[in-house]
Amino acid sequence: MNFEPAQYRINPRLPYNGLTIILSSPSRFDTIQSAQENKPKILTSVAGKWFSTECLAKADINFYACEVRIADDRSPLREGTRVIFCLGQKAQTTFMGTLSTLGEQRGSPIQLTHVVAVSSYTPQDCFDSKNHEKKFQENNTPDEVSDDDSEAYDKDAEDTFEDEKSHHGKTSRQNFKSWLEFDSRKVAFLLKHKMPLDQTEIIMLDNPCEKLRAHTGNLYFDIETATDLSIRCFAWCGEEGPVYVTSVVDYNDVMRPDGFRILLELTLAIRRADCVIMHNGDTFDCPAMIWRYGFPASPKKLYDTMIAQHRCYPLLERSLGHCGSLWTFEPYHKNDGVYNPVNHDQEYRLKHYCGKDVSLMRLIRQKQLAYAETRKGLKKSIEHACAAARAYMDMTLNGCEVDDERRITMQKRCDDRANLYARVAELLIGPEIKAMVAGKGSKARLVSSPAQLSKYFHSVQKYPAVKYTPAGAPKLGENEFYKLALKIGPHPILLLTLAYREQAKAASDLKLKPYYRNYRTWSKEQCKLSA
């Protein structure tokens, strides 16, 4: 049953609070109820009620003081509107005008002419772990299918938005609920306050050596690299003041004449700093400098905003884009950079992007530390994790010592146990059944072959299949195997298969390869500073 877009609108029952909520489209449950009652419905499902009572109410927003509409309703906004909350890709594209995907843009406010716009996931997507909503939209309103739909749910792979850029980091569907709750709190803040924006100045320096020598205190730092890990540019700042950016390798992939000296000054600034603040610096920035140039860019104290994010919210995503959307009100900028510049303009954009990363990093750390003060033990936990990062960085670059004799002994022991479990399993089923499930000439073991296990349990033992392939055959992958084990109980072949896999995995993990240092050494002549 078709209704006019304006018929879906929910007008505020209480005095209007200035918030208009815009949904991409009604959910399939809203549509079913609308057809039954011959009356348009919106946000009437379990997901819709959760959104109004858990997300909005806990953020101190009264749902009955809001206006709710769908994206196809293009009528002028209600007088007094201060914030629009766009839920879903279609609503974001229609009202915010951004070309970013929903996964990238969500949680990052945009100041429009008279209102502030924030986007997030739809309540139904937050509940729809298997993405049934996508199939419903495709079957019923093909011209309105949103681009924010993820791939079909598969526990063998993480559910994410397909079109998100790799530099942003992908968002797991299981975290949609959490992100919508956080975005609702941000909307509540914007209803009461003006949007706070970072006014940090970004200064392009041609000769940064003097500024680097004079830098004291904490150092916020980020680099942008080419595919060979050569540093195109870097940005830094202190706790206050502007962000400085300088280039090292130009868009022609040519290092500036004084590039080596500039990187040396940066290295010395890193080693002098009271604390160096980076995002994923322990696994990329510092190791890249050490490996590529041979500089001992190891800070005496490190604070990594990615590590801190993991300690604050262990289950949430940790990319800089996600952290920025959680802790700050800064507009999304992760699509602004040009990672392989081919002219001066693109090189400038890359440098400005690098400066924005550092500026954002500073805001994130300030908010993380403030949050840590409100949670007992969290500050100490962040400190311990960041302190441990240096040891991991050292092992990444230099490897770690291993008792090779003991490793070989343990590996052989695990291999022997795995072989034993495999032989016992085949003795239990007998040669006739083995030949039936394996086929002629097959040398594959029963416990290591999903195809053989599927034939044994579903064709020989007649256990019902947990899942089927598109062709209609029983599927018995790793996830299905564990589900089957829960259904049929302690079957001997199941137990032997699990034991075999455990020992085979342990044996595989013990097959280590020697590590060889292949990065450059630090030349004293090259690194010598002039007076």
Question: HEC profile for 412-472?
Answer: HHHHHHHHHHHHHHHHHHHHHHHHHHHCCCCCCCHHHCHHHHHHHHHHHCCCCCCEECCCC
Task: Flag whether pLDDT at 178 surpasses 50.
Answer: yes
Asked whether the CA dihedral 305, 306, 310, 311 is positive or negative, the reply is negative
How far lies 285's CA from each of 233, 293, 370, 393, in Å?
12, 12, 26, 10
Task: Identify the CATH number of the domain defined by range 202-399.
Answer: 3.30.420.10
Q: Does residue 465 have a pLDDT over 90? A: no
Domain range 404-509, CATH class? mainly alpha
| Mean pLDDT for the chain overall | 86
Cα→Cα distances 522→273, 395, 516, Å = 20, 18, 17
**Which pLDDT score, from 0 to 100, does residue 17 have?**
95
Question: Would the CA dihedral through 427, 431, 437, 438 be positive or negative?
Answer: positive
Q: What is the pLDDT of residues 310-359, one digit of tens each?
A: 999 999 999 999 999 999 999 888 887 787 888 999 999 999 999 999 99
| Residue range(s) in the chain whose domain bears CATH number 1.20.1060 | 404-509
pLDDT in tens, 379-433: 999 999 999 988 888 887 777 888 889 999 999 999 999 999 999 999 999 988 8
User: 10 φ, ψ to 5°?
Assistant: -110, 115
Q: What is the predicted pLDDT for the residue at 404? A: 87
Q: Which pLDDT does position 1 carry in this prediction? A: 56
Indicate the fold that domain 5-192 takes in CATH.
Uracil-DNA Glycosylase, subunit E (3.40.470)
Q: Please return the burial class of 439, using the count of CB atoms within 10 Å of its CB with bins 0-12, 13-18 and 19+.
A: exposed
Which pairs with CB-CB distance under 8 Å and at least 24 residues apart come from 450-459? 450/476, 450/477, 450/481, 453/481, 453/493, 453/497, 456/429, 456/493, 457/484, 457/488, 457/493
pLDDT at 141: 42
Residue ranges of E strands in 6-50: 19-23
Q: What residues does CATH 3.40.470 cover in the chain? A: 5-192
- Under the banding of pLDDT at 50, 70 and 90, the label for residue 519 is low
- Per-residue pLDDT of 203-255, as tens digits, reads 999 999 999 999 999 999 999 998 888 899 999 999 999 999 999 998 898 99
Decide if pLDDT at 455 tops 70. Answer: yes
